[in-house]
A and B are shown apart, each in its own frame.
Chain A
Amino acid sequence: MATISLKDVRKDYGRNPVIHGISLDVANREFIVIVGPSGCGKSTLLRMVAGLEEITSGTIEIDERVVNQLEPRERDIAMVFQNYALYPHMTVFENMAYGLKIAGKNRTEIAERVSSAANMLELGPYLTRKPRALSGGQRQRVAMGRALVRDPAAFLFDEPLSNLDAKLRVQMRLEIKALQREVGTTSLYVTHDQVEAMTLADRLVVMNGGRAEQIDTPMNVYLKPASVFVASFIGSPAMNIIEARVAAESRGVVVAGRTIDLDHLRLHLPAVGAPVLFGIRPEHIAVSETEKVDLLLTVSAVETLGADALAHCYFEGGKKGRDFVVRLPGTRTVRVGEHLPVVLDRAATHLFDPESKKRLN
């Protein structure tokens, strides 16, 4: 149990910077999820905390001790790998006991710790099996067990669920969360799956191109994305982001020729006529039941998901396309070509600067 603190951590491969200075303070017992698209540097960041990659500059502290120069084994961490990385020639028991054996623990203590971890993970019946005789989910548990028995200062997870099938992934996700609550070990978890990120995290780190775009709770990331990238990365289907202009007298923004009044955002709007990026999530759009209509849309494609339906639309009179998505209740049937007058939830509107891509409101 410990805190982890990153201070302006950078990583260059040769002259090629891959991590551009990330600072992060992880509280004791906190579950931090680092999420981002492939190649954003999230795994590199985790591996730097583990000590598997050297850091170019900055400091990493685990439990208030600078670990920059320490070997992985001296950092008091445990890591769960994407492909499990179990030792194929060892039984489940030996796999879990190996770290303890090296640490010089005596046999009874090893047996005790392994069996208590095995009980937690329901691995008891498999202790004498080799990894190859286990299913994917069981192997994943062994990998978790190997981390658990060490009782480390921090758990590091490197996309631990991406080799599992969808159903198992949901189940293991819940188990990991429950386990972490139970043992209370500070955790860093890397994933590219936004559902995993949202459900597991106490706080999210959304990374893009070697930068941390936003570090906040999942709900805040969803409700107040700090940049266009975060807005479009978190949430499925992605947020609609449309080029707009500030309306006369700063009353709101003009989208596809219609003025959407945004009185509550008046203070955040740039000069009249300036371009802005206007964002609204598909779930915050409703078909208008009254005279009041914000936008007129034409449906170009429909995806029926059961609980709800996604209507891909374009602006009435505008270019045909599928650039605007509306989430409708599953009970409402829509047809391609249908005209949809919609209203927008004012509390859930987002404004971004078209230059810096940063949030304005």
Chain B
Amino acid sequence: MIARARSRLFAHLWLILGLIVVAFPIYYVFVASTHSLQTILRPPLPLLPGDQFLANYSEALFGGVGRIGGVGVGTLLLNSTIVALGIAIGKIIISLMSAYAIVFFRFPLRMVFFWIIFITLMLPVEVRILPTYKVMVDLNLIDTYAGLIVPLIASATATLLFRQFFMTIPNELLEAARIDGAGPWRFFKDILLPLSATNIAALFVILFIYGWTQYLWPLLMTNSNSMNTIVIALRKMISFADADTEWHLVMVTCILAIAPPILVVVLMQRWFVKGLVESEK
């Protein structure tokens, strides 16, 4: 019994240590975001939160940050949210539709189209980034939400995922729906979509984070400070000279930048796990 209690204690200590290693940097960022710039620049940084929480957060959200042209973090958050939602929802819609077409319809060159989609998996975004950029410039889409979202919407991964899921749906279900009088659109809306709900939720979480953390593409596509996403702005706020950087605001922005993805994961956790492990049949 004693040996068991001891090994349990050891296990817990080990886990706590791991937790500290992972969580401490984030905690420290939060601590820094509640101190004034002077406190941060004069080491050592205290380990407990300071009294500048309200002042720092309201300055960042509503006052505007000097180094990025006086744009408030609120605007950045809005931009990031629009882009991340746009990419996640857009990808889901496009891939649902293409997977539906590939699995349930017989048309000429069906497999060719499938393989074309599949092959795009082999190419990283960076390979096609220059031609895509040229197209966006020609279409006058620099500094627009459309320019930020549309090129990232096509997704072979999500299409494949839905294809695999659709293929597990028994054929009789489709036939029963046909006999019940459901056309292709009704079958999609009334049967396929509800059955895919958990998959969609899981994919949404992954894609939202993917959209939120985009770096290279938004960096190319935005010139105006007011169109920056929060990740780009964060980078721009840091100057090479330490004294030029408003570290307290950078820390606030950091916290604000990681909050929405965390929120999405926490809120959709149940669905997310369900979508990954079980398929409702």
Contacts and interface: CB of A to CB of B under 8 A. Distances in A.
B195 A88 contact: yes
Contacts of A87: 173, 176-177, 190-191
B106 to A, nearest CB: 12
B270 interface: no
A89 B280 CA distance: 8
A86 B169 CA distance: 12
A83 B179 CA distance: 15
Interface residues of A, number: 23
A50 B280 contact: no
Nearest to A87: B191
B173 A73 contact: no
B280 A99 contact: no
Given A81-B175, A83-B172, A87-B173, A99 B180 contact: yes
B178 interface: yes
A229 interface: no
Contacts of B182: 73, 98, 102
A77 interface: yes
| Interface SS, A side | loop
Contacts of A51: 178
A51 B281 CA distance: 25
Interface in A74-88: 77-79, 81-83, 85-88
A72 interface: yes
Contact of B178 (A73, A88, A150): A73
A88 B198 CA distance: 14
Contacts of B191: 87, 89
A324 B121 CA distance: 66
A199 B182 CA distance: 34
B170 interface: yes
Contact of B181 (A52, A73, A86): A73
A344 to B, nearest CB: 47
A73 B179 CA distance: 5
B186 interface: yes
B280 A78 contact: no
A77 B179 CA distance: 7
A103 B172 contact: no
A83 B170 contact: yes
B191 to A, nearest CB: 6
A314 to B, nearest CB: 47
B181 A99 contact: yes
B174 to A, nearest CB: 9
A85 B280 CA distance: 14
A89 B194 contact: yes
A336 to B, nearest CB: 48
B180 A98 contact: yes
Given A52-B178, A72-B179, A79-B179, A85 B170 contact: yes
A303 interface: no
Contacts of B177: 87, 98
Contact of A79 (B170, B176, B181, B197): B176
A263 interface: no
A103 B177 CA distance: 12
A98 B179 CA distance: 11
A345 interface: no
A79 B179 CA distance: 7
Interface in B179-202: 179-182, 186, 190-191, 194-195, 197
Contacts of B197: 89
Contact of A85 (B176, B190, B194, B195): B176
Contacts of A150: 180
A72 B178 contact: yes
A175 interface: no
A71 interface: yes
Contacts of B173: 85, 87
6 contacts: A83-B172, A85-B173, A87-B190, A87-B191, A88-B280, A98-B177
Interface of A: 50-52, 71-73, 77-79, 81-83, 85-89, 98-99, 102-103, 146, 150
